[in-house]
Structure 1
């Protein structure tokens, strides 16, 4: 039986609500929306660490960042890490990486820090070695390549050249964009020049409209980047279709984390909020076509096991994620009821996300570590009635039982995934806000 080609279409810092399927009215993502409807849309998809390097380590290994050692930026992926690429290569695949890596210690990225990818057109810190109209990548020999066009188009052209090159073996390709991440040197979101005249009226998500931040000056460029990414997705699909690969190629779309536009802290992510941790995600191709909408909580650590199983390869026991393929075939099957999030750099923190509730704790010390012995409760949100997390209920007497239950569940998750047993200090009780109450059936 022919093994499928596998492409990971990977964006950077893209909010889940940039897509039409999540309610964005600006028609930015017609290709994503169309493919997700025909394939499988993961409606509740999350990163496990809302910052670049740690999230990327989780994608590559199927493990939490504290377990990979990459719990903050600037910590290279261990050379002996079991990665998707190493597993696909062992299974007879050609492996390739194009774009941003952010898991090495030097630039260009040496061969032993590429996670098992053989074909290489990458940069460790693409935001520092390139600009919107000045794309620079390095090959397997460390030689620089300057690619023409807007950066999204330049990377997509490179990917199309790769996938349309005849080969005997199936391929595993990661196409990793910088967009819609900001350009660090100017703290701006440089969209294609053509977007400036074609931009429709800007829709502002409620959290950004309510809270102080940079959305008023950054959303136009950000949405222009998202639009061009979706066009790139369409171009890649067209290339697969025109070369008779579409029926035996899996395309998996995701982002590493979201963006809160300096509304929650002094930068763009690194917080427990949906704006930081919830991402767009869909898949199309063998095993995913007509899978419908999956409502279970999908984590970035689940992608490696999912894609390996979809390719008929063994999933290493060291991976902490789970393949979601069984849930696609049996929508009411066994799946997680909660998801732990690790947070670093802005703070040492943990959060737990369930269908209804978001609960977060943070270490009181200002020193940022991989983990802490003691955390204090900081946030509790009712996502059913406050989906944009504008009212913090932590400490409210009316929600004390919810916090207690979430505390126990988070401690269980920390023990399971980190092997640690920290303490969590309850928040000081404050009066109930208005007439709020929580019934016994709604505590979890």
Structure 2
């Protein structure tokens, strides 16, 4: 069995048709998800590139990895380590952002045998100037729009004759912005197709930079979906599709500067919820899954699907038991670590509620664990799916906040080995006619 990870960067969950997007951006994603397993409630474990990618490579939370200067520790065991140990050929193509330098030193390449990647293509490459590096650190220029160039490289790799199965990680920059221009460069002619079209309700209400950038962003998502279709066609034409597990996911979402002075970094749905599917042996006809799945769960899931041992160091849990209808308590809620200019935070997302805490100031190193937090956010996702009203300081919701606080503390302790203190908001407002917590149902 082969494994291919199709990984995008900063893609909102609601860009895909199965999440209600009306623009027809993702027919290939939707088709694969319907045939395989659609992870309807999938979330990142850290809404920023480096820590999210570290968690996906290792199955561990970023706070426990000891990331130094944006780089994985040299001795970190990655997905490539485990698949290579099992006799797989391993390959990485595209954005890495875990090397701490450009080009990425061999020791920082995550144990991948084949390497055609760049640490930060959002800075050192461009939409029609795709420059990656081989394993020796030599620059390689690939022709075409960057999404197409990387897809061509991936198709060349999977088309090679080999004796061993392979694990291919195909990592795109798109639809992340090109940093020097702070722009979303879609392929020529694509941006124009989505100008002045549908806008997600949170962006319509809060504006941010979406009016200027959403059309280009949508054009990039469309081209990514076309690339997914090309890759699947290549697998089908070479007789590999039925024996290949395809995972589609993104490192985090994008709120277009509506929630902070950046594009992500917050615990809101637009920042933490991601599109995800798994297609292939063991996942066909899995249906639309309601379980809450984290990015940190995907490594264990992939090893489980390949019948490989899941190391105890992995903090995520395979979703295959849920597909087999076995008793499963691990996928009831998402736990998220985050940080932004206002502080370091932790959050929990249940089917109905979002509860988050953060430090009073950003005084800790990146990805650090705090000893104390203050309550920052509470959203009723059933009544307010776009998170336009923060309930954290309303008196009538203190009961709900207290119950969620205990669940969050349990999650923190399970990851970090200790429980911090969590203080209430600085002030509490009267609730007026608000429904009291006892009438609000299950968490």
TM-score tier (shorter): over 0.9
Would the aligned equivalents of 2:300 and 2:317 in 1 still touch at CA under 8 Å? yes
- TM-score under structure 2 length normalisation: 0.97
TM-fit CA distance, 1:439: 2.9
| Aligned position for 2:413 | 415
Distance 2:432 2:43 in 1: 30
| Unaligned runs of at least 5 residues, structure 1 | none
Which of 55, 60, 71 in structure 2 is aligned with 1:58? 55
Would the aligned equivalents of 2:89 and 2:165 in 1 still touch at CA under 8 Å? yes
| Aligned position for 1:348 | 344
TM-fit CA distance, 1:418: 1.0
| Unaligned runs of at least 5 residues, structure 2 | none
| Aligned position for 2:10 | 13
Would the aligned equivalents of 2:266 and 2:340 in 1 still touch at CA under 8 Å? no
Residue correspondence of structure 1 range 36-47 to structure 2 within 5 A: 36-47=33-44
Asked if 1:363 is matched to 2:359, the reply is yes
* Partner secondary structure for residue 348 of structure 1: strand
TM-fit CA distance, 1:200: 6.8
* Partner secondary structure for residue 89 of structure 1: helix
Which stretch has the larger CA shift, 230-239 or 363-372?
363-372
Distance 2:305 2:191 in 1: 41
Would the aligned equivalents of 1:202 and 1:219 in 2 still touch at CA under 8 Å? no
Would the aligned equivalents of 2:194 and 2:216 in 1 still touch at CA under 8 Å? no
| Aligned position for 1:429 | 428
TM-fit CA distance, 1:199: 3.5
When the two structures are aligned, how many residues end up with a matched partner?
Answer: 439
Distance 2:417 2:90 in 1: 33
Question: What's the CA shift string for 1:339-373, capped at 9, x where partnerless?
Answer: 21101243211111111100011101331331211
Distance 2:380 2:285 in 1: 32
Distance 2:120 2:195 in 1: 32
Which stretch has the larger CA shift, 160-169 or 341-350?
341-350
| Aligned position for 1:396 | 394
Asked if 1:183 is matched to 2:178, the reply is yes
TM-fit CA distance, 1:69: 1.7
Asked if 1:95 is matched to 2:95, the reply is no
Going from structure 1 to structure 2, the CA distance change for 1:334 and 1:366 (only over 3 Å counts) comes to closer
Would the aligned equivalents of 2:192 and 2:215 in 1 still touch at CA under 8 Å? no
Distance 2:432 2:202 in 1: 20
TM-fit CA distance, 1:196: 3.6
Which of 142, 149, 160 in structure 2 is aligned with 1:147? 142
Would the aligned equivalents of 1:137 and 1:144 in 2 still touch at CA under 8 Å? yes
* Partner secondary structure for residue 432 of structure 1: coil
TM-fit CA distance, 1:46: 0.3
Residue correspondence of structure 1 range 103-252 to structure 2 within 5 A: 103-199=98-194, 202-252=197-247
* Partner secondary structure for residue 437 of structure 2: coil
